[in-house]
Structure 1
Amino acid sequence: MTAQILLIDEDAAERRSMKAAIEAHGHAVHVADTAQAGVDLFRRHAEQIGVVVLDVTSADGLNPSVIPMLAEINAGVPVIVCTTEGATETALNAVRAGAFDFLVKPIAQERLIGAIESALKIHRTSLQGRTPRRARSGSVSFSDVVAASAAMSRVVELGRRAAQSMIPVMLEGEAGVGKELVARAIHAASDRSSRPFVSVNCNAITPAQIEDVLFGSETQMGKVAEAEGGTLFIEEISELPPVGQMRLLEVVQSGEVHRSGQAKPLKANVRLVLATNKDLIEEVKAGRFREDLYYRVNVFPITIAALRRRKEDIPHLIRAFVERFSLEQRLPRTLQVESSALALLTSFDWPGNTRQLENAIFRAVVLAEGTSLKESDFPQIAAQVTSHRGATVGSEAQAPVYEPSPIAKVQAALAERAASFSGGQSAPSTGFNGSASGNVIVSTDEAGNVRKLAEIEEELIRFALKFYRGQMSQVARKLGIGRSTLYRKLKDYGIDPDDPQKDAA
């Protein structure tokens, strides 16, 4: 069946090559040579285009707003990103932003067409009213939040408390962890549940448009006015431009909103729930976020842990998604999940968090041919997990696209180390501070006793500093802590923050 494909690629030769391959398969191709031109073209033909193929190998890398902007126009159209080999962060950012698939250049024609055909099947399903993500409504409650882990149980507990007051709530966590679901649950449990829940993503709107979108103008009502009496959920609040921050501060302080072109302010009766995937206090220190606004809106912070840090939730999420999508696909019965597939999905780190898991399950259910989901129904995940197991530690040139975190490496090393010792044998000391060579950190001392947590933490930080060549932002992100926390720990362990590699392992 002929479909319309939007191809966005700055390289003219690559455009011609991929365009010819797609057209040879019977599809029509729209082409754009820049991201902005592609977004404009997509806006004009959003109802006709079935798949977007987006190249992200420009000198500037992936513009973080491109995929959200495409989703804002038509969320049902899958986006396939193309990247170069070794572009780890670019691929991760694309997945976190909601990309359906990614291809590594040079791209085989069969791989390109296969990805497009799978994406088209997903798109045709969405046209029938069954989208990859549930169309959430105000009826969402805390019972919809999977909370098998202690971390998510705490989120639910704090969310219920927050719902009983009117103070602003700040939801912190990586992209895709489920911040909107928690925000909707807070709204549904509050006294404002019968009033509107209005969401806006600062990353999906250009800086020039965001003021009118949020606060309104002569021709536009604005999200603040739409949420009157209800809840306004602002995603990626760190991306709000300075002028927008100033105007939001006015809303918080005075309870009034000024529309562009109108002299008289309007009353603003809204409850604010905000979300960020950045460390806002670091944004304040860097001068990118107003300190006075920070202290006004960061009144009740709730941190939602990344999915890799609450793996107890994964099997429950898998079953919930399979049940929902089986129902949406009108299958005669809910698909089963074989134990091997469950083990595979649980072992993966899910850099795109719950959103990525949800989309992976949706894709597998739509494309499933049997009565159960097998390991073979998740080929991309299996390839990444396999590449992890076979990767050479410390060789960045051979690192897979999805690189395991240092903590995961240490856990694996400790498990391997434990298996090699028996009968209280002491571990050989062949490296730094009692650690073995490579990236192995020994869990027992020479007397056979378990070592202190602080000692192991110090070694892990020193190892990370060496592994990531002193790149502090990357070290903090990979260790799962904030930069301020990392700097405090460097001070505690006598590591010079101005020359961290000098003290690295």
Structure 2
Amino acid sequence: MSRRILVIDDEPGIRQALGQLLEYEGFEVKTASGGAEGISLYDSYRPQLVFLDVKMAGLDGLEVLKRLRQADPTATVVMISGHATIQTAVEATQLGAYDILEKPLDTDRVLVLLRNAFENRLLSEENARLRETIESRYEIVGRSFGIRALLERIDKVAATPARVLITGENGTGKELVARAIHRGSPRAKKPFVEVNCAAIPSELIESELFGHMKGSFTGAIADRPGRFEQADGGTLFLDEIGDMSASAQAKVLRVLQDGVVTRIGGSKPVQVDVRVLAATNKNLEDEIAAGRFREDLYYRLNVVPITVPALRERREDIPLLIVHFLQQLAARDGLPARGISEDALRRLQELEWQGNVRELRNTVERLVILASHATIGAPDVERLVGRRSAESPGLGGLLDIATFEEFKQAAERAYLLAKLRTFDWNVSETARALDMPRSNLYKKIERYALQRETVE
């Protein structure tokens, strides 16, 4: 990391003494005799730390501090003053100063402050790199019509407090959508807490969500907050909500209505401020009809519906996803950097991906590990992936759907979506072409959460 320091002070003696000390300690130093000169020098020199005098002719130090922090919110500025007051210290801190030192400067304190400031900056930069790595892991990749429409809807809903129900097949990226909504929301700096309702036994889901008190059941050896409390101020993502037990559904509904949770074995309600996002690969209307899901909870969660398209509906994104995964595997997981031939990309694009994006990523990882050469070729795909094309190119993955009822629904959804696109989402024209009452078409659009793609 660079070790550049800028000293802004109108006293030549201070500039000279501080400059000599810093250069002796191995820092690169530049000095400025006034505020305007210091601001100009900061822009070109880009120091890691600034020593800034509070009282100077012309622009005083507090005004310079304000302008530096406006231009660069990450600027690390240490104020120095011959007559610092509590009011000055408070104002400097409010404007973003890292610390304030009194004249005459104490050498030992200056050196301790430098060590702490640079360690703090190094930690901040490492955290920023870590955030970038995490965000790249959860990036939604694609340029297809469906993905651009999805991103547009995420942008619209993220800034609102609305609850969102995310639907889609396994492996399509429902969690990525939830994280994108959280990142774009006013709650972005607060916790994002995920609960996989299908992975937690029904007898433990309530403890997981609402917490428990010590001794409330066998194994409750200490008080424990639930996920609602952990997500206070932030976002709670209930994945696979369709697998939640009936009793837990009732309690979640009550939390959504009242904004309070009560731990198992406790009597004191705890106020929580949580935005709830839910996801499922099930048709919740069918689950309601079968008596397995509460209708009132469904309407509480389904304020804004978002459907994540299956990979077969966005085949043009497959090459982009493959390149993204190759880069991600090399950078984050330390696997060998690999290229991929056009023939291999084309072959992978032709295959059927029942596990959607998740299956595609796992396949790319397998190719990276086991491919014979630095560039993955079509023979590697044939050898390591095999042939898994659909029996009929016009049916995509519909022939692999388990039940006839699910097949009919998937086929109807795809058919209606194609017809609506054909007539540019003119519902009246589409209904007329289908010889269907317009009211019926509206109901089906709502049932299948069909979305008009408005992205250019």
Q: Structure 1-normalised TM-score?
A: 0.51
Equivalent AA in structure 1 for residue 298 of structure 2: Y
CA positional deviation for 1:214 = 1.2
Inter-CA distance 347–310: structure 2 relative to 1 (3 Å threshold)? same
Matched, 1:384 2:409: no
SS in 2 for 1:233: strand
Match of 1:363 among 350, 363, 366: 366
After superposition, the C-alpha distances for 1:333-386 in whole angstroms (9 at most, x for unaligned) are x4111111101110112100001101111121122342111223334775333x
Matched, 1:312 2:287: no
Inter-CA distance 138–281: structure 2 relative to 1 (3 Å threshold)? farther
Matched, 1:198 2:131: no
CA positional deviation for 1:469 = 12
Structure 2 equivalent of residue 375 of structure 1: 378
Structure 1: distance between partners of 2:156 and 2:308? 15
SS in 2 for 1:203: coil
After superposition, the C-alpha distances for 1:243-298 in whole angstroms (9 at most, x for unaligned) are 01100001100001121100111112111111011111221122211111111110
CA contact (8 A) 1:176 1:356 kept: yes
Within-5 A mapping of 1:95-244 = 140=135, 144-218=139-213, 219-244=223-248
Inter-CA distance 284–136: structure 2 relative to 1 (3 Å threshold)? farther
Q: Structure 2-normalised TM-score?
A: 0.56
Please list every run of 5 or more consecutive structure 2 residues that lacks an aligned counterpart in the other structure: 1-129, 214-222, 417-430, 438-456
Q: Alpha carbon RMSD of aligned pairs, Å?
A: 3.4
CA contact (8 A) 2:344 2:377 kept: yes
Match of 1:255 among 250, 253, 259: 259
Inter-CA distance 230–474: structure 2 relative to 1 (3 Å threshold)? same
Structure 2 equivalent of residue 407 of structure 1: 395
Structure 1 equivalent of residue 447 of structure 2: none
CA contact (8 A) 1:252 1:296 kept: yes
CA radius of gyration, larger in: 2
Structure 1: distance between partners of 2:415 and 2:296? 21
CA positional deviation for 1:404 = 5.5
Structure 2 equivalent of residue 471 of structure 1: 404
Structure 2: distance between partners of 1:482 and 1:179? 23
Structure 2 equivalent of residue 323 of structure 1: 327
Equivalent AA in structure 2 for residue 180 of structure 1: E
SS in 1 for 2:170: coil
> Across the two proteins, how many residue pairs are aligned to each other?
284
CA positional deviation for 1:146 = 1.2
Structure 1 equivalent of residue 291 of structure 2: 287
Equivalent AA in structure 1 for residue 150 of structure 2: V
Inter-CA distance 307–229: structure 2 relative to 1 (3 Å threshold)? same
After superposition, the C-alpha distances for 1:81-125 in whole angstroms (9 at most, x for unaligned) are xxxxxxxxxxxxxxxxxxxxxxxxxxxxxxxxxxxxxxxxxxxxx
Structure 2: distance between partners of 1:189 and 1:173? 21
After superposition, the C-alpha distances for 1:159-178 in whole angstroms (9 at most, x for unaligned) are 11111111101111001101
CA contact (8 A) 1:207 1:241 kept: yes
CA positional deviation for 1:317 = 0.4
SS in 2 for 1:273: strand
SS in 2 for 1:229: coil
After superposition, the C-alpha distances for 1:44-88 in whole angstroms (9 at most, x for unaligned) are xxxxxxxxxxxxxxxxxxxxxxxxxxxxxxxxxxxxxxxxxxxxx
Inter-CA distance 212–170: structure 2 relative to 1 (3 Å threshold)? same
CA positional deviation for 1:330 = 3.9
After superposition, the C-alpha distances for 1:401-452 in whole angstroms (9 at most, x for unaligned) are x766762499xxxxxxxxxxxxxxxxxxxxxxxxxxxxxxxxxxxxxxxxxx
CA positional deviation for 1:471 = 2.6
CA positional deviation for 1:302 = 0.7
CA positional deviation for 1:142 = 11
CA contact (8 A) 2:165 2:278 kept: yes
CA contact (8 A) 2:312 2:396 kept: no
Structure 2: distance between partners of 1:282 and 1:337? 43
Inter-CA distance 482–273: structure 2 relative to 1 (3 Å threshold)? farther
Structure 2: distance between partners of 1:299 and 1:261? 32
Structure 1: distance between partners of 2:415 and 2:282? 9
Inter-CA distance 178–266: structure 2 relative to 1 (3 Å threshold)? same
After superposition, the C-alpha distances for 1:111-168 in whole angstroms (9 at most, x for unaligned) are xxxxxxxxxxxxxxxxxxxxxxxx9989638992113111111111111111111110
Between the two proteins, what is the percent identity of the paired residues? 38
CA contact (8 A) 2:197 2:240 kept: yes
CA contact (8 A) 1:468 1:475 kept: no
After superposition, the C-alpha distances for 1:14-47 in whole angstroms (9 at most, x for unaligned) are xxxxxxxxxxxxxxxxxxxxxxxxxxxxxxxxxx
Inter-CA distance 470–142: structure 2 relative to 1 (3 Å threshold)? closer
SS in 1 for 2:172: coil
SS in 1 for 2:279: strand
CA positional deviation for 1:478 = 5.9
